[in-house]
Amino acid sequence: MIAVLIRVLCLGTAVGTAAALTPSLVSGRHYAVLAVAWVIVAVLVGTYATRRPLVAKYLVPGTILLVLFTVTPVLATLQLSTTNYGDGTRTTKQETITQVLATSVVETPDSPTFHLAVATTGNPVAGPFTFFLVDPATAEAFSGTEEGLVRLEPDQVTVAGGFVTAAPGYTFLTPKQVNDAAPHLREFAVPTEGGAIRSRGLREAFEGRAVLRYDEATDTIVNTDTGVRYTVQRQGDREYFVDGGGTRLTDQSWRAGVGLDNYRKVFTDPRILGSFLGIFAWTVVFAAGSVALTLALGLVLAVTLNDPRVRGQKLYRSVLLLPYAIPGFISILVWSGFFNQDFGLINGLTGLHVNWLGDPFAAKAALLLLNLWLGFPYMFLVTTGALQAIPADVREAATIDGAGRLTAFRRITFPLVLVAIAPILVAGFAFNFNNYNVVELLTHGGPFTPDNPNAGATDILISYTVRLAFGAGGAQFGFASAIATLLFVITGVLAAAQFRATRSLEEVH
C-alpha cells in the first residue's frame, strides 16, 4: 500500500514537473527540450506504472542520466567540432548583416534631439506604437509612426514639462514598458526626409540614417555615401564582406560548417605535432606519478593508523582529512604562494633557493608535490576502508603459517587492498590525466621557452590544448571541440587498457 503511494507520488511529481515547465518552454520555443522532458516522463511512467517485474526498473534511472549528462554532451561536442564556431564567427550570417547595418546609423548633423514619449493604441508589449515627439527648441509636438511624421496642433495633445503626456485614444508606456518593448522599438523608425527618427534610451529620439544597405539579390552590402560595394569573400577558414581591394568591411564573420577541417588542423599543424609527444609523455608521468605518490603516502598512513595500538585514531584521521576538506582551488593558490622563490614559505623554511616555478624540472616536482598534498587524504580514506574490510582471520592464518609482518603485508594485505581499489586507481589516473585546474592555477603550464610560447614544461595535454584553442586565436570553440573529442578517445583507450590490466589482479582469489 505504502509502496503504491510512494510510486504514485514520484510519478505524479515527474508528470507535474514536466507540465509546469511546458508553458515557459513553449514560449521560449525550446521545443527540443520540451520533447525530451516528455519522453523521459513517458519512459518513467511506462516503466514504473506497471506491477510487472521488469529489469528496466533497475536500469532506467541510470540510463536516463547517462544519456542526458554523458552521451548528449559528447554528441554535442562532436557536432560543434565540425563547425568554425569561435571568436569572429559567433553569429549567423543574418545576424551579422543586421548588426553591421544597425551600427552604421549616423546622426543627421544639426537635427534636433526630440523629447520622446512612446504610446500605443494596442497593447504595450507588441504595439502598434506611436512616437510622440517634442522639439525642445521650438516646443512643437509631432506624432510619428512607420508611415511618417505628422505635426500636431497644440490642442490635440497634452504637453507637460517638455513631453507629450496624454493623447486621446492612446495609452502611454511607462519607462519599464518602453524597456520591455525594446525588441520592437529597435526595428521602429519614423521615416523622414533626412533618414529616420529612432529612439535613444527612454525619453529621447534623434534623426539619423543607416549608411549601409544590404542587397539580398546580389548578396552585397552597399555604402550609400561612397557607393563602395562589399561582396562575400572567403579569407582563411571563414567568409567576410570585402570591397574590391580586399579590405574587410568588418572583422565579424559568421558560423559555418567546415566538415573535418578542425581534425585536419590537429594532424597537420607542425606546431601541435612537434610538442605533442613530449607533453603526452609528461601527462602520463604526471597522472601515474600523482596516483602512485598519493597511494603510497595514503597507504602508509592508513596501515599505521589501522594498528590497534595507535591511540587517538579518530583524531589523527580527522586531521589527515583536512587537506581534502579545504576547497582545492584555495589550496592550489595558497601553495603557488608557498613556491615563490624569494618570498615563499618553502624556500623560507628550508633555506633553499630553488626556483620552484621557473625551472622546468623543479616546476614538475612542485606540481607533483602539490598533487600529493591534494590527493593523499582521499587515498588514505579509501585504503583505510579497504583495510578494515579485510577479515582478521586471513591475517591470523598468515601469522600461523609463519609469515612476518612485512611478508604478510606484501603477500596478503597489499594484494587484497589493491583488488578493492583498482577501479579507483584507474579513475584517479583518468582524472589526473585531464587535471586542468591544478596545472592552470599553479604554473599555467609554464615555465616556457621563448622558441615555443605555446607548450610549457608542465603542460599536460588538456592545458596545452586549451591554450591552442583559446590562446593566440581567441576562442575557437569548433577547434577546441575537435581536440576535446580526441582527448576523450585517448583517455578512454587508456582507461580501457588499465581496466583490462587490473583484471589480472582478480587472480589473487
Partner 1 sequence: MKPIQRRCALVAAVTLLAVAACSDGQPASPAPTGAAPAASGAPARQNADLVIWTSEVASRAVQPIAEDFGRQNGITVAVQVISADLAANAITANTAGNGPDVLMLPNDFLGGALQNGAIAPLPLRAEDLTAYESGALASVTRNGQVWALPYGMENLVLYRNTKAAPKAPATVEELVSTGQAAVKKGTVERALSLPVGQDGDAYHMEPFFTSAGGSLFAIDADGQYDPQQVGVGTAESIAAASKIAALGEGGSKVLTRSVDGTNAIAQFTDGKAAYLVSGPWALADIRKSGVPYDITPVPPFAGGEPASPFLAAQAFWLMSKARNPAFAQEFITKTMNTPEAMTAMYTQDPRPPVRTDVLASVSAKDPDMAKLAAGAKNSTPLPDFPFMSGVWPPLGQAYAAIVGGADPASTMQKTASTIESVVPAK
Q: Which of 133, 375, 408, 464: binder of partner 1 (CB under 8 A)?
A: 375
Determine, following the binding rule CB under 8 A, whether residue 240 of this chain makes contact with partner 1. Answer: no
Residue 175 near residue 157, CB atoms below 8 Å: no
Q: Which of 146, 166, 431, 505: binder of partner 1 (CB under 8 A)?
A: 431
Q: Which of 30, 184, 203, 364: binder of partner 1 (CB under 8 A)?
A: 203
Q: How far is the CB of 455 from partner 1 (least distance, A)?
A: 11
Q: Which of 329, 404, 410, 496: binder of partner 1 (CB under 8 A)?
A: 329
Q: Which of residues 33-52 bind partner 1 (CB under 8 A)?
A: none
Residue 231 or 250 with smaller CB distance to partner 1 = 250
Q: Which of 146, 237, 243, 440: binder of partner 1 (CB under 8 A)?
A: 440
Helix (H, G, I), strand (E, B) or coil at 119: strand
Determine, following the binding rule CB under 8 A, whether residue 239 of this chain makes contact with partner 1. Answer: no
Residue 157 or 482 with smaller CB distance to partner 1 = 482
Residue 18 or 370 with smaller CB distance to partner 1 = 370
Q: Among 395, 415, 411, which Cα is nearest to 306's?
A: 395
Q: Give the whole-angstrom CA distance, residue 197 versus residue 175.
A: 19
Number of residues that bind partner 1 (CB under 8 A): 109
Q: Which of 129, 170, 206, 338: binder of partner 1 (CB under 8 A)?
A: 206
Determine, following the binding rule CB under 8 A, whether residue 351 of this chain makes contact with partner 1. Answer: no
Determine, following the binding rule CB under 8 A, whether residue 233 of this chain makes contact with partner 1. Answer: no
Interacting residues of 362 by C-beta distance below 8 A, sequence separation 6+? 354, 355, 356
Strands 195-200 and 148-151: unpaired
Query: CA distances (Å), 155 to each of 119, 164, 166, 188, in order?
Result: 18, 12, 11, 26
Buried b (16+ CB within 10 A) or exposed e, 300-337: ebbbebeeeeeeeeeeebeebeebbeeebeebbeebbe
Q: How far is the CB of 1 from partner 1 (least distance, A)?
A: 31
Determine, following the binding rule CB under 8 A, whether residue 179 of this chain makes contact with partner 1. Answer: yes
Cell of 416: 587484497
Residue 352 or 394 with smaller CB distance to partner 1 = 394
Q: Which of residues 137-166 bind partner 1 (CB under 8 A)?
A: none
Q: How far is the CB of 285 from partner 1 (least distance, A)?
A: 17
Residue 418 CB neighbours (<10 A)? 17
Residue 175 or 312 with smaller CB distance to partner 1 = 175
Determine, following the binding rule CB under 8 A, whether residue 464 of this chain makes contact with partner 1. Answer: no
Phi, psi of 118 (to 5 degrees): -100, 130
Phi, psi of 299 (to 5 degrees): -70, -45
Which residue type sits at 125?
V
Q: Among 176, 194, 210, 378, which Cα is nearest to 295's?
A: 378
Q: Which of 18, 178, 258, 266: binder of partner 1 (CB under 8 A)?
A: 178
Q: Which of residues 281-320 bind partner 1 (CB under 8 A)?
A: 290-291, 294
Cell of 303: 596501515
Determine, following the binding rule CB under 8 A, whether residue 104 of this chain makes contact with partner 1. Answer: yes
Q: Which of 36, 45, 60, 107: binder of partner 1 (CB under 8 A)?
A: 107
Phi, psi of 131 (to 5 degrees): -90, 125
Q: How far is the CB of 271 from partner 1 (least distance, A)?
A: 9
Helix (H, G, I), strand (E, B) or coil at 137: coil
Whose cell is 495633445? That residue is: 157
Q: Which of 14, 37, 164, 386: binder of partner 1 (CB under 8 A)?
A: 386
Interacting residues of 215 by C-beta distance below 8 A, sequence separation 6+? 221, 222
Determine, following the binding rule CB under 8 A, whether residue 436 of this chain makes contact with partner 1. Answer: yes
Q: Give the whole-angstrom CA distance, residue 350 versus residue 211.
A: 69
Interacting residues of 416 by C-beta distance below 8 A, sequence separation 6+? 386, 390, 394, 508
Determine, following the binding rule CB under 8 A, whether residue 362 of this chain makes contact with partner 1. Answer: no
Q: Which of residues 472-491 bind partner 1 (CB under 8 A)?
A: 472-475, 477, 480-481, 483-484, 487-488
Determine, following the binding rule CB under 8 A, whether residue 499 of this chain makes contact with partner 1. Answer: no
Determine, following the binding rule CB under 8 A, whether residue 192 of this chain makes contact with partner 1. Answer: no
Residue 144 or 428 with smaller CB distance to partner 1 = 428
Determine, following the binding rule CB under 8 A, whether residue 124 of this chain makes contact with partner 1. Answer: no
Q: Which of 72, 99, 233, 407: binder of partner 1 (CB under 8 A)?
A: 99
Q: How far is the CB of 169 from partner 1 (least distance, A)?
A: 24
Determine, following the binding rule CB under 8 A, whether residue 469 of this chain makes contact with partner 1. Answer: yes
CA atoms within 13 A on the CB side of 504: 4
Determine, following the binding rule CB under 8 A, whether residue 186 of this chain makes contact with partner 1. Answer: yes
**Read out DSSP for 387-427?**
HHHS-HHHHHHHHHTT--HHHHIIIIIHHHHHHHHHHHHHH
Helix or strand run (H / E) with residue 206: strand 204-210
Residue 343 or 406 with smaller CB distance to partner 1 = 343
CA atoms within 13 A on the CB side of 472: 7
Determine, following the binding rule CB under 8 A, whether residue 471 of this chain makes contact with partner 1. Answer: yes
Q: How far is the CB of 481 from partner 1 (least distance, A)?
A: 5
Cell of 333: 593558490
